[in-house]
Amino acid sequence: MSKLEIKNLVAGYEQRVLIRNLFFVVSAPAFVAVVGHNGAGKSTFFKALTRTIPYQGQILINQQELQYYANPAGTGLLSYLPQKNTVTFPIKVRDLTVMGLFRHKRFFEQYTTADYLAVEHLLQQLQIEHLLNREFTELSGGEQQLVWLAQLMLQDAAICLLDEPTQQLDIYHKKRVFSLLTNWAQEKNKMVLCITHDLANLYGHTGYLLNLSKPKPVLENLTADTIQENIAYLEKEPVKV
């Protein structure tokens, strides 16, 4: 079971600290919606988790400091889906998605029939199996985002970070993706941390909510009351710090 502990985390940039004294503990299976105003530190938090910016305090995964892991992504411990990915060369959806298995392969090892069947199964779950043999660069932004999501799920990492995965999706697919992520966390014993502004689409789901705009952010159970309270909180002008 994966366990994430954040202790006295401070992170930001030279001119501005965005996260101050953040504390929380969460164990898999768990879905955590990370919310907040623009500039509240949501993406900064993920950058600290992926070690792309320095930070103070402790980030512990399975009771080990994050710095202990030479390459968390390479070991299958952590995967990350940013807001934007860019592909400029022609490649079919099936071949881009199967690359999620890259870290599970030895050098020059070929992808197998079973690997491509796993791709088909994931695309079916996302209801985009009709895109299997399409050129990725010809897809809409929303379709491309769903393909990236399938690739991330195929990586099968213990902790998955997603930065606004529903940003380019229509209402139907927003609801579909949140259902898929919350069920996936429970069924596959994953920890899914998801930055989102789509709080209204979280009703009825199981998990937690972390509002980084609050003076002292804490994990809250994902209930109708906490969703409504946080929507009301985020509708107000952010506090200047």
In this prediction, what percent of the chain has a pLDDT beyond 90? 75
User: pLDDT value at position 239?
Assistant: 74
Q: At what angle do helices 171-187 and 141-155 cross, to 10 degrees?
A: 0
Three-state DSSP class for residue 216: coil
Continuous H helices in the chain: 42-49, 93-98, 113-125, 141-155, 171-187, 224-234
β-bridge partners, 4? 26, 61
User: How far apart are the C-alpha atoms of 139 and 97, rounded to whole Å?
Assistant: 14
- Give residue-wise pLDDT tens across range 134-150: 999 999 988 999 999 99
- Give residue-wise pLDDT tens across range 84-130: 888 888 999 999 999 988 877 777 789 899 999 999 999 998 899 99
Residue 240 has pLDDT above 80, yes or no: no
- Per-residue pLDDT band at 157 (split at 50, 70, 90): very high
DSSP state of 92: B
0.85 exceeded by pTM? yes
- Give residue-wise pLDDT tens across range 187-202: 999 999 999 999 999 9
Which amino acid, 157?
A
Q: What is the largest CA-CA distance in the chain?
A: 55
Q: Which of 52, 199, 181 is nearest to 125 (CA)?
A: 181
Q: Which of 1, 65, 66 is nearest to 30 (CA)?
A: 1
Retrieve residue 26's tokens.
């969460």
Per-residue exposure over 113-135, b if at least 16 CB sit within 10 Å of its own CB, e if not: eebbebbeebbebbebeebbeee
User: pLDDT value at position 72?
Assistant: 65
User: pLDDT value at position 131?
Assistant: 96
- Give residue-wise pLDDT tens across range 29-81: 999 999 999 999 999 999 999 988 999 999 999 999 988 877 666 567 899 99
Which amino acid, 187?
E
